[in-house]
Structure 1
Amino acid sequence: MNDSMKEHWDEIYEALDADELTWYEEIPESSIKLLSECRINKDESILDVGAGASTFVDYLINQGFSNIIATDISEIALNKIKERLGKEKASLVRWIVDDITQPIHIRNLRDIAVWHDRAVLHFLLEEDQQKMYLSTLKRGIKKGGYVIIATFSLKGAKKCSGLNVKNYDQNMLAEFLGEDFSLLDYFDYTHYMPSGQPRPYVYVLFQRLE
């Protein structure tokens, strides 16, 4: 695990409440929209990569999904979700503290029906980090499974939380995933931070080919 990166995110999640984070969404509408386009059963596995203190897990539980996996490099971040959910709901989720660029536990996951990543991939600047992310995704996602990714768009911020980011559009993400995946949907979305400043994102939905 990248200890310096873990410390970086631990410090941020330690210092701020979830709703003070620049990327916080009370209702993750864009993720919900793309998930609604995925034809999966409620008992199929959904992996939330870089779950942070996101409310996406709350939504999944409330909708009756029963095979939810939430992972993040920061245990502090995941604990904030657990505290918000309460013990009973938190027990419905499999929690994994891991680094997507140096995965230990995530690499063992199989038959994932939906891979959901809001704002992780754009932090991976090194080619070896991107390759590890992609190989882990391909290893885990089942044939016919879906990939939802949100990154800063080409018009989006060049830095976030003190870190440089890589900006994407849907074509770049399609090239990144490769010919094994078919682009089903995409759209630009502007997220507004608590300060009111805009953050342009691109959201994409892919399906792994049979």
Structure 2
Amino acid sequence: MLKDHWNEVYSSKPVEKLGWYEPIPTQSLKLIKKCDIKRDEAIIDVGCGVSTLIHNLLSEGYRNIIATDISDIAISKLKKRLGNEFSSKVKWIIDDLSEPKKLLNLRNISLWHDRAVLHFLTDEEARKSYLEILTNAVKLSGYVIIAAFSLKGAKRCSGLDIKRYDERMLSEFLGNKFTLIDSFDYTHRMPSGDLRPYIYTLFQKDKE
């Protein structure tokens, strides 16, 4: 099961040794700032893992945050790292984006953030499920940030195949309800020292 795979990943290494670990998620924060949403608007971090993004957002005063991941071990570790005061301010959802139960009910999201999740969905049905959740959840004029391995990036990660993207492919995936606002290439240096090229994109959902 995919859940078992990710629980094993998060159990087997310290957080700081995971390939996608960032002490400060600079590129994501830059795009979030560009959205200029209010501090009480809903933000969801899909595939949050044990990311430092949640801590940074809470520290900057955002107070309507949803964190979701398929791995209950990742969620448990992130709660512990945040501490009781911060973790109590977050809505936590353990669910599978490719076979969702709880996530289907999401609505009125102002900002959808995904760093390194979509590219793991290599199955067409899984991507359809992801897109359905996203489209229903994000409100009109809401924002979507997707960061994925670029076409220059690795073909596998954490023992799984990857579907790589460029700006055009992500635009086509989201469809005509979303307009591309910004995109850029960024090379992430893994804790091991290896380099991973990403494409970062920011979209806005149409007003109607």
* Fold agreement, TM-score > 0.5: yes
Runs of 5+ in structure 2 lacking a partner? none
Q: Which of 8, 30, 54 does residue 33 from structure 1 map onto? A: 30
Q: Give the Å deviation of 1:31.
A: 0.3
* CA distance in structure 2 between the partners assigned to 1:144 and 1:128 by the alignment: 26
Number of matched pairs:
207
Q: Counterpart of 2:179 in 1: which secondary structure?
A: strand
Q: Give the Å deviation of 1:39.
A: 2.4
* CA distance in structure 1 between the partners assigned to 2:59 and 2:99 by the alignment: 32
* CA distance in structure 2 between the partners assigned to 1:97 and 1:109 by the alignment: 13
Residue 173 of structure 1 is matched in structure 2 by 170
For the aligned residue pairs, the C-alpha RMSD in angstroms reads 0.5
Residues 149-203 of structure 1: per-residue CA shift (max 9 Å, x gap):
0000000000000000000001100000001000000000000111111000000
* CA distance in structure 2 between the partners assigned to 1:18 and 1:78 by the alignment: 12
Q: Counterpart of 1:86 in 2: which secondary structure?
A: helix
- Seq. identity, %: 56
* CA distance in structure 2 between the partners assigned to 1:205 and 1:119 by the alignment: 14
Runs of 5+ in structure 1 lacking a partner? none
Residue 102 of structure 2 is matched in structure 1 by 105
Question: Which residues of 2 match residues 84-103 of structure 1 at below 5 A?
Answer: 84-103=81-100
* CA distance in structure 2 between the partners assigned to 1:15 and 1:54 by the alignment: 16
Q: Which of 111, 130, 133 does residue 133 from structure 1 map onto? A: 130
Residue 53 of structure 1 is matched in structure 2 by 50
- Answering whether residue 141 of structure 2 is matched by residue 144 of structure 1, we say yes
Q: Which of 139, 157, 161 does residue 160 from structure 1 map onto? A: 157
Residue 200 of structure 1 is matched in structure 2 by 197
Residue 4 of structure 2 is matched in structure 1 by 7
Q: Which amino acid aligns with 1:24?
A: Y
Residues 126-146 of structure 1: per-residue CA shift (max 9 Å, x gap):
111010100110010000000
Q: Give the Å deviation of 1:98.
A: 0.2
* CA distance in structure 2 between the partners assigned to 1:167 and 1:101 by the alignment: 18
* CA distance in structure 1 between the partners assigned to 2:109 and 2:13 by the alignment: 31
Q: Counterpart of 1:174 in 2: which secondary structure?
A: helix
Contact preservation (8 Å) 2:17, 2:192: no
Q: Counterpart of 2:85 in 1: which secondary structure?
A: helix
Contact preservation (8 Å) 2:109, 2:142: yes
Structure 2-normalised TM-score? 0.99
Q: Counterpart of 1:199 in 2: which secondary structure?
A: strand
Question: Structure 1 residue runs of 4+, over 2 Å off?
Answer: none
Structure 1-normalised TM-score? 0.98
* CA distance in structure 2 between the partners assigned to 1:107 and 1:63 by the alignment: 29
- Answering whether residue 70 of structure 2 is matched by residue 73 of structure 1, we say yes
* CA distance in structure 2 between the partners assigned to 1:138 and 1:112 by the alignment: 10
Q: Counterpart of 2:74 in 1: which secondary structure?
A: helix
- Answering whether residue 79 of structure 2 is matched by residue 82 of structure 1, we say yes
* CA distance in structure 1 between the partners assigned to 2:59 and 2:104 by the alignment: 28
Q: Counterpart of 2:35 in 1: which secondary structure?
A: coil
Q: Which amino acid aligns with 1:51?
A: C
